Structure 1
Amino acid sequence: MDTELDIQRFFQEVASICTHEQALQEERHRKGENYNLFSILNIERYELKHSALIANLLDPKGSHGCGDAFLRAFFEIALKGTAYPFEDCTLPHSYTEYYTGPIVGDTGGRIDILVKSSRYGLIIENKIYAGDQDKQLIRYDNYGKTDLQADRYLLVYLTLFGNEASKGSTAKGSAKEVDYLCLSYAEDILRWLGQCVRLADNKPLVRESLNQYIRTIKQLTYQDMNEKNIRKIIDLAVDHPEVVATLSSKRDAIAQGIREKYIFAELKEYAAKKGWLYDDSESSYNEKEPKISFRKEGWDGSIIISADSEDKKSNYGWWINLWIGIDSKVTGAKKLACLEKQSPEYPMGWEYLTTPNWYSAENFPAMKESVAEEIINKLDEIIEELGVK
C-alpha cells in the first residue's frame, strides 16, 4: 500500500466535498438562510444566555406559551425516557443562577438551571466553555440531598459533547463518585430542540426562534455541514482507515503546527505592531500550564493566556481550559469591565476563551479561522480600558 499516495487521494476527495459544501453555504447566504440573531448578538459564547433560554423552555409558565410540553419532551428525549415526575403535583418553577448559599467546603454556589417543585428537582450544571470549579458537583449534589426540599432530584452535567466532570468537581481520587447524568448539546439538546420545534408548529415565532437556536448549536458543535456531505466524508474515512489512523497518530503534532502558524504567529505580529513584549517561551509542552504573555515595558503587569488544568498529573502542559487575564501586582487594582470574572489572583479580571481547547481536533477549524482574531479583539479592549498605550 502506498500510504503517501492514499493520503493525497484522500485529501483530494475531501477537498472536493468541501468545495461543494462551500457552494451550498454561499447559496444559503444568498437566500438569507444564515441570518441568525444568536450569532449576530454573539450570544453563543455566554453560558448564562444558554442557561436562560433553556430554563425558559423548561418552565411551564415560560413565554413560549406551550405549557409543560417542552419539559415533558426534555424528560422523554434528552433524559432518555426518564419518567415525567410532575404528573400529580403543582407544576414546577424554573430558575437560573439559583443561589444555594456561600461556598464553604462542600456546600454553596449558584446552580446554572434549577427546575423544582415540592416533589422533584432537576439540577443542571451547564458547561460550554468554562472549566469546573472545585467540588462543584459535590456541592450541588449535597444541596439536592439536604436543602432542595423535594422528594427526589436529578443532577445533570451538560456540555457541548457530553464530557464527564473533572475529578476535582466530583470527588478527590474518583472520576464519578457523585451520581450525575452527562448530556451533550451535540446530541441530546439538539434532539430535544427538534421535538420542541414540532411541538411549536402552530407558534411561528417560537418555532423559528428554536430553529435559529438549533443552527447556533450546530455551529458550536461543528455540525452545520450538509448531512449528505458529512456522510460522504464518513464513508471516505471508512474506506481509508489507514489514512485516518496515520492522521490520528499525528494529532498532537498537527495541533502544535496549527497553534504556531495560525495563533502564535498572529499574536506575535500583533505585539510587535503595538510595541509590546511578547513571550511564548512556555507555550510548548512542559510541567506547568502553557502560557503566552503580553507586557508593555515599564508596566507592572502582564496580559496572559494560560490554561486551567483540571488534572495536573495527566494534562499539565496541554492547551485545555484556556483563559485570558491580567496578572498585575498593582495595589488596589480594580476589575476591568471587559473581563467577565475576577479572583484574588487576578483582581483586574479574567475570562475563558470561546475556543478553550487548542488540543482537540474538533477545534482545529476555529484555531485556524477565529481564535487569533478573538484574542486580538480582547487585547484591544483590555489595552483601551487600561489606558496603557
Structure 2
Amino acid sequence: MENIHQINQLLNETQTISESYKRVADSTGENFNIFSILQMESDEVGTHSRFLAELLNRKGRHGQKDKFVKLFLNRFAPDHIFRTEKSETYVEFHVGKVAKEAGGRIDILLRDTDGNVVMIENKIYAGEQYNQLLRYRNAFPSGKLLYLTLFGDDSAQKNAHGLYFPLSYETDIIEWLEDCRKESVAVPILRETISQYINLLKKLTHQNLNKKMNQDIISRILRDNASLDSFRTLFDLHKDLKKEIIASIVSRIKQMFEERGFENIQTMDFSKDKGRLISFETPALKERGLRFQMNFEGSNYSGLLLGFVNPTASHPKDAELIKMVKAEFPKAQQSDWWNVFLRYEEYRDWYFAGLSKIYFDEDDAFYSDLANKVDRIMAVFNERVNGTIAVAELAADTFENPGI
C-alpha cells in the first residue's frame, strides 16, 4: 500500500507541474503550429524535404545565403569537400529511369560547381524502395549519402550497408535547426518558423516541447529513492498500458465493422507494434482479391493508413477504382501492396497523447470520423462494382441481341 501511495503522490505532483506549464503554453501560443493545422505533418516531400531544402538553399528566401548549409555540412559531413558558396539545391532530383541498380529520384541533392554532391534520402513513414540507396550511390559514387529517418534507423537493405551515413530528426536535425534558429535571432519571422518546425519534429518523435518542464519533473522523480521506484513501476507498465488502450479501441472498431455486415474481420497481433490494426472483407472485395485494412506504417503504432490492400499479386490493380477513390479523397495514394490508401492524418500516431485523445473523448469523434471514412470509401468501391456489373450485363445483352 505504501508503494501505491508513493505512486499516487508522484502522479499528482507531476500533473500539477504539467498543468502549470500547459497554462503558460496556452497563454503564449506555444501550441499553435501551422504545419499541424494544415495537416502537413507527415508529407515527406511537400513538407519535410521542401522545408529542409529551402534552408539548405543558399539562394533560399530566408536571405541567409549559405549560412545554414555550412552549419549542416560542418555537423554531418565535415570531411566532405564542398563549396557551399557555389552550391545548388534540388528536391526530387531525377537520376534516370528506375532499373535494378540505377535511376530514381533523390529527395534532396546539393551540388557545387566542382561537381561535389551531398544526397539526402528522407524517410518519415514510407518504406524503402528496392535497391534505393544503392541506386543513388551508383548515380554519384563519390557523393556523400545521408539516410534521414525519425530516429536514425539503419537501412533494412543489406546491400546498402557502408554506403550511407544515418541521421535522425529526433536529435541530429533538431540540433542543427536550433543552430539555425540562433543565427536567425535578428529575423523574427524566420526564427519563429524554424521554432514551429522544431516543435513539429518533437511531436513526431514524441518529445515534450518544454525542456524546463522536463527538468522539473526529473528533479521531482529524483527527490528520493521511493519516487524513483514509483517511476520505475509506472515505466515498466507503459507497454502493457498502451496495449490495453489499443485493445479497447480495436474492440470498438470491430463492433462497428460487424454492425455493417463486414466479414472475416482480423485484428492486430499485439506482439508487434506495427502492421495491421484491423481488416475485413466483403464478398465483392474477396472476389477482386482485396481487403479493407487499417495499418501502422511505422513502429510504436505510428503512421496509420487505411484503404484497400492486395494480399496477393494474383489480381491486377484496379486503375478505375484508384481514380474514383482519389476523386472522393484527393490525397489518396497507391503502392505495390496497397491498391489505394489514405494517410489518417487526424489520428496518425498512436503515442500516448494520440491515444488519450481517442480513449477519453466523450464525443467519440474518432469513431464518428472513422465510420464516415469507411462508409465513403466503401460507397466508392460499391459504385465501382455496380458500374462494372452494369457494363458486363450491357455487353452480354449486346452479344445476345446484336440489333440493340
Pick the TM interval, shorter chain: 0.7 to 0.9
SS at match of 2:60: coil
* Aligned match of 2:68: 70
- Residues 158-217 of structure 1: per-residue CA shift (max 9 Å, x gap): 122222222x3x42xxxx623322222222212211221222223222222112212222
Which residue of structure 2 aligns with residue 91 of structure 1?
86
1:303 maps to: 292
1:84 Cα deviation after fit: 7.0
Instruction: Tell me what 1:103 maps to.
Output: 98
- Cα distance in 2 for partners of 1:144, 1:123 equals 9
Question: Which residue is equivalent to 2:387?
Answer: none
2:195 aligned partner: 211
Rounded to whole Å, the distance in 2 between the matches of 1:374 and 1:99 is 40
Over residues 13-45 of structure 1, what are the superposed CA-to-partner deviations in whole Å (9 max), with x where a residue is unaligned?
Answer: 144223331332233223433222111111112
Q: Does 1:271 align with 2:231?
A: no
Partner amino acid for 1:20? I
Task: Specify the alignment match of 2:394 in structure 1.
Answer: none
Q: Which segments of 5 or more consecutive residues in structure 2 lack a partner in the other structure?
A: 383-404
Q: Distance in 2 between matches of 1:162 and 1:269?
A: 38
User: Paired residue for 2:139, among 143, 153, 157?
Assistant: 143
Consecutive unaligned residues in structure 1, runs of 5 or more: 146-151, 310-314
User: 2:3 aligned to 3, 6, 10, which one?
Assistant: 6
SS in 1 for 2:117: strand
CA RMSD of aligned residues (A): 3.6
2:390 is matched with which residue? none
Q: Which has the higher contact order (CA 8 A, sep 6+)?
A: 1
Does 10-19 or 295-304 show the bigger shift? 295-304
Return 237-246 or 10-19, whichever deviates more: 237-246
Aligned-partner Cα distance in 1 for 2:203–2:301: 22
3-state DSSP class of the match of 1:179? coil
- For 1:158, the equivalent position in structure 2 comes to 148
1:225-374 correspondence runs (5 A): 225-235=209-219, 239=225, 242-243=229-230, 246=233, 252-261=239-248, 263-271=249-257, 276-277=262-263, 279-285=265-271, 290-295=276-281, 301-306=290-295, 323-327=305-309, 332-335=319-322, 336-337=325-326, 338=329, 340-347=332-339, 349-351=340-342, 363-369=351-357
User: Equivalent residue for 1:387?
Assistant: 379
Structure 1 residue 247 displacement after superposition: 5.1
Between the aligned partners of 2:143 and 2:118, the Cα distance in structure 1 is 6
Query: What corresponds to 1:53 in structure 2?
Result: 51
Q: Deviations over 1:259-310 (max 9, x none)?
A: 212x313423543565655823454449x9645114557555532023569x
Contact 2:133 2:163 in 1 (8 A): no
Q: From the superposition, tell whether residues 86 and 370 of structure 1 become closer, same or farther in structure 2 (CA, over 3 Å).
A: farther
| Cα drift, residue 71 of structure 1 | 0.6
Partner of 2:174: 190
What's the secondary structure of 1:257's corresponding residue? helix
SS at match of 1:45: coil
Match of 1:116 in 2: 111
Aligned residues: 357
Structure 1: how far apart are the matches of 2:244 and 2:120?
Answer: 37
Runs of 4+ in 1 over 6 A off after TM superposition: 355-358, 371-376
Instruction: Give the TM-score of the pair, scaled to structure 2.
Output: 0.74
Instruction: Tell me how far apart the structure 1 counterparts of residues 126 and 8 of structure 2 sit (CA, whole Å).
Output: 34
- Greater helix fraction, Structure 1 or Structure 2: 2
Out of 162, 187, 190, the residue aligned to residue 178 of structure 1 is 162
Larger radius of gyration: 2
**CA distance in structure 2 between the aligned counterparts of 1:319 and 1:197, rounded to whole angstroms:** 31
